[in-house]
Amino acid sequence: MQAEWEEMARRNWISENQEAPGQVTISTIEKGYYFHTENPFKDWPGAFEEGLKKMKEGDLPVTILYLEAAILQEPNDAEAWQFLGVTQAENENEQAAIVALQRCLELQPNNLKALMALAVSYTNTGHQQEAYQALRNWIKQNPKYKYIAKSKKGSPALTRRMSKTSDESSLLEEVKDLYLEAAHQNGDMIDPDLQTGLGVLFHLNGEFNRAIDAFSAALTVRPEDYTLWNRLGATLANGDRSEEAVEAYTRALEIQPGFIRSRYNLGISCINLGAYREAVSNFLTALSLQRKSRNQQQVPHPALSGNIWAALRIALSMMDQPELFQAANVGDLDILLRAFNLEP
Amino acid sequence: MAAPRVAVVGAGLIGLSTALHIAEVIPSCCSITLLSEQFSPNTTSDVAAGMLIPHTYPGTPIHVQKQWFKETFTYLFAISNSAEASEAGIHLVSGWQVFKNPLEAEVPFWSDIVLGFRLMSAAELQKFPQHSHGQAFTTLKCECPPYLMWLEKRLKANGVQIHTRKVADLWELHSEYDIVVNCAGIGARQLVGDQQLFPIRGQVLKVHAPWVKNFIRDGDGLTYIYPGIHSVTLGGTREKESWCLSPDPGTTRDIFDRCCSLEPSLQRAQDIRVKVGLRPSRSCVRLQKEVLSQGGAKLLVVHNYGHGAGGFSVHRGTAKEAAHLVGECIAALEGSSSKAKL
């Protein structure tokens, strides 16, 4: 029974992620959030607080269960939706993250953390337009910067641009103006959140070196922020600087060993560097982490990310080990963990 | 990403059959171009007799070799049983492999793949007074150039581009192709600097002797008589590390004498033509992927060469494996285009 559930979960995720890169694989329309059907913490008092505790410990799958429990108990808890969205992204589950963050923003349109997280998720899924809008809203809703958006409204240049907001490049220019103006107003003061927004914006626009500068600036203020290290790493990787990306991911994982997304990213960089064994090892570790904490909680069908399985198959295919490739095809994690001497 | 572009280097038996298999199993998702300096009838494959009798590769597990042979035999057997047979140059042929000494192993690993394998009777052995033991079986033979021409035709029908071009360095293909399949045969020694690859020079005679209907192979592998559709191939020689492509008249005489002592009727053979080929030999076929790097640039290569004297016996099996490796390279190309997540 367990195996069947695993197989079903695996298939669902894989089929969602098998479209060609560049294509829109995730709908921006809210489809509704799929809760785990058998949540052992369903009636847990203080589930939200327990979730935050687990989040700090880096146990993402269990954090998700607690936060889902908190939301089932209090469906309008915007903050719980926000943390759930952020955790789902860290757990390499973008679709769930987007849905949770959208729900958060319906309840609380000025939730800055959710706006930024949503901009990131849209960036990752190739939804440029939506990402720019989320970034713009982040400025508009931000007590520190909303005056910039207001003062800009009257400017003739902006009005001209606003008249054709459907044009992607004009939206980009508008949002860029806002962020650069905000940075200018800050002078020598570095606002790590603003720099993060700039990093996402430049990344969206393919200006990787400028994005790297922005994330690096944010890190000077928050050197222990593992999500920032991952964002820096991902930008380095997408800018063809895989060796440096590995260093950044390694730092993120030192701070937060349970950070599934960074583990996945590290594996992708290993593939690009031709280190297939290390790549496989990272993907297996990520899958095993996703499964492990669930199993301890006796959740019958742990959701393992489809894109991690897909990346694992790619790495294995480069290693000339047909039996292991076959094991990945049927989703047999135990055989693979044993073959690579990893703890189940 | 755009459909990956695959270049197959070499238009001998291995290059043609590998390109065809890629075209058959990975259709439409990639474009395939075959590049070669030489085409039939000027390839090493055109010198070979094209008999399906496996040669053992010491560096490859027997079960793998057996699988390659089985796949090749099954594929060609189906062609021999179709209307294509004469055009493709594929036909069944029966005969004997004879030995002067008792055999070490009773039956070779391929005995259950060829047809009707059995030990020769005493009565049959009377035909070979110098030999005391023997095996009788029916196997397949590929007539070249017809088989190579037929493969070329199939390639064109599958949309494979074919260009005459000498490739001196795999890197010259880097800007035009994503994956290069190296089927250069003995040319791989120069092309990729493989010092484990060496030539075993083979000289053969192609004679007109239409009355010879059965093949005869001396168990030492040096002397053989292989009747084909248009001629009978008489062999042979095995000269390790000799790069000489011109026929040696003394060797021609020697081959003819050796064959006549096995099959005296060949004394009346006519129209004797001499051919020389360099068998691309190695302890095992090099069938693997390699990622070449040069100043940050990467080139995906699939090697399929080093079939020595046994290429015809295993070509379909190794082509299948090479096509599989190409499929893996395509997956890797798609993988490296997957983006990191912020």
Task: Quick: pLDDT tens for A181-214.
Answer: 999 999 889 999 999 999 999 999 999 999 999 9
How distant is the Cα of B106 from the closest Cα of chain A, in angstroms?
Answer: 33
CB contact, 8 Å: B288 with chain A?
A: yes
- For the ranges A167-171, A266-270, B8-12, B221-225, the lowest mean pLDDT is seen at A167-171
Closest Cβ opposite residue A320 in set B288, B298, B334: B288
Please give the Cα distance from B30 to B14 (Å, whole number). 20
Closest chain B residue to the Cα of A232, Cα to Cα: B342
Please give the Cα distance from B110 to B184 (Å, whole number). 27
What are the chain B neighbours of A314 within 8 Å (beta carbons)?
Answer: 331-332, 334-335, 338
Closest Cβ opposite residue A271 in set B293, B336, B339: B336
Residue B77 backbone zone (phi > 0: left; psi -120 to 50: alpha; other: beta):
alpha
What are the chain B neighbours of A21 within 8 Å (beta carbons)?
Answer: 1, 334, 337-339
DSSP A166-235: TSHHHHHHHHHHHHHHHHHHHTT---HHHHHHHHHHHHHTT-HHHHHHHHHHHHHH-TT-HHHHHHHHHH
Distances (CA, A) of A16 to A30, A93, A95, B121: 16, 11, 10, 65
- Extract the annotated binding site of B: 44-45, 167, 224, 279
Is the pLDDT assigned to residue A98 strictly greater than 90? yes
Note whether A5 and A298 are within 8 A (CB): no
pLDDT at residue A8, rounded to an integer? 38
- For the ranges A46-60, A160-174, A312-326, B241-255, the lowest mean pLDDT is seen at A160-174
Portion 182-211 of A in contact with B at CB < 8 A? 200, 203
ipTM of the complex: 0.81
Give, in degrees to the nearest 5, the angle at Cα A249 between A58 and A282.
75
* SS3 state at B99: strand
CB under 8 Å to B282, separation ≥6 — which residues?
B57, B59, B194, B196, B197, B198, B305, B306, B308
- For the ranges A96-100, A140-144, A180-184, A298-302, the lowest mean pLDDT is seen at A298-302
What are the chain B neighbours of A269 within 8 Å (beta carbons)?
Answer: 340
CB under 8 Å to A49, separation ≥6 — which residues?
none
Please give the Cα distance from B197 to B177 (Å, whole number). 25
Closest Cβ opposite residue B332 in set A238, A269, A318: A318
pLDDT grade, residue A164 (50/70/90)? very low
How distant is the Cα of B301 from the closest Cα of chain A, in angstroms?
Answer: 12
Note whether B319 and B18 are within 8 A (CB): yes
| E strand or H helix at B243 | none
Closest Cβ opposite residue B337 in set A21, A233, A318: A21
Read off the pTM: 0.61
Is the pLDDT assigned to residue B219 strictly greater than 60? yes
Closest chain A residue to the Cα of B327, Cα to Cα: A317
What's B321's domain CATH number? 3.40.50.720
pLDDT at residue A153, rounded to an integer? 60
CB contact, 8 Å: B341 with chain A?
A: yes
pLDDT at residue B2, rounded to an integer? 64
Which of A228, A253, A271, A314 should one mutate to test binding to chain B, selecting the residue with the greatest count of B CBs within 10 A? A314
Please give the Cα distance from A163 to A299 (Å, whole number). 52
- Interchain pair A265, B341: CB under 8 A: yes
A342/B87: higher pLDDT: B87
pLDDT at residue A170, rounded to an integer? 83
pLDDT at residue B27, rounded to an integer? 64
Note whether A258 and A288 are within 8 A (CB): no
- Extract the annotated binding site of B for FAD: 44-45, 167
- Interchain pair A268, B337: CB under 8 A: no
- Interchain pair B342, A272: CB under 8 A: no
Residues of the domain holding B228: 5-340
| E strand or H helix at A289 | helix A276-296
pLDDT at residue A215, rounded to an integer? 97
What are the chain B neighbours of A124 within 8 Å (beta carbons)?
Answer: 339, 341-342
Closest chain A residue to the Cα of B287, Cα to Cα: A320
- Percent of chain A scoring above 70 in pLDDT: 83
pLDDT grade, residue B188 (50/70/90)? very high
A6/B139: higher pLDDT: B139
Q: Strand (E) positions, chain B?
A: 5-9, 31-36, 90-99, 115-119, 133-142, 161-164, 179-182, 198-208, 215-218, 224-227, 232-235, 239-240, 270-281, 286-294, 297-305
Q: What is the mean pLDDT of chain A?
A: 84
pLDDT at residue A166, rounded to an integer? 53
- Interchain pair B340, A237: CB under 8 A: yes
pLDDT at residue A307, rounded to an integer? 82
Q: What is the mean pLDDT of chain B?
A: 93
pLDDT at residue A273, rounded to an integer? 86
Average pLDDT over residues B46-64: 95
B55: amino acid identity, one letter: H
Per-residue tokens: B260: 């006549």
Portion 43-82 of A in contact with B at CB < 8 A? none
Is the pLDDT assigned to residue A57 strictly greater than 70? yes
DSSP A74-124: -TT-HHHHHHHHHHHHHTT-HHHHHHHHHHHHHH-TT-HHHHHHHHHHHHH
Per-residue tokens: B10: 């070499």
Closest Cβ opposite residue B331 in set A94, A200, A317: A317
Closest Cβ opposite residue B338 in set A89, A231, A311: A311
Average pLDDT over residues A91-107: 94
Burial of residue A19, with CB atoms counted within 10 A of its CB: 0-12 exposed, 13-18 middle, 19 or more buried: exposed
What are the chain A neighbours of B338 within 8 Å (beta carbons)?
Answer: 21, 268, 307, 311, 314
Is the pLDDT assigned to residue A157 strictly greater than 90? no
Note whether B177 and B35 are within 8 A (CB): no
pLDDT at residue A155, rounded to an integer? 52
CB contact, 8 Å: A318 with chain B?
A: yes
pLDDT grade, residue A220 (50/70/90)? very high
- Percent of chain B scoring above 70 in pLDDT: 97
What are the tens digits of pLDDT across the range A21-34? 333 333 344 458 88
How many structural domains compose chain B? 1
Is the pLDDT assigned to residue A19 strictly greater than 60? no
Radius of gyration over alpha carbons of chain B, in Å? 21
How distant is the Cα of A248 from the closest Cα of chain B, in angstroms?
Answer: 12
Is the pLDDT assigned to residue A270 strictly greater than 50? yes
Note whether B71 and B317 are within 8 A (CB): yes
What are the tens digits of pLDDT across the range B162-174? 999 999 999 999 9
Size of interface A-B (CB pairs under 8 A): 65
- Interchain pair A318, B342: CB under 8 A: no
- Interchain pair B341, A264: CB under 8 A: yes
DSSP B279-323: EEE-SS-EEEEEEEEETTEEEEEEEEE--TT-HHHHHHHHHHHHH
pLDDT at residue A293, rounded to an integer? 64
What are the chain A neighbours of B337 within 8 Å (beta carbons)?
Answer: 21
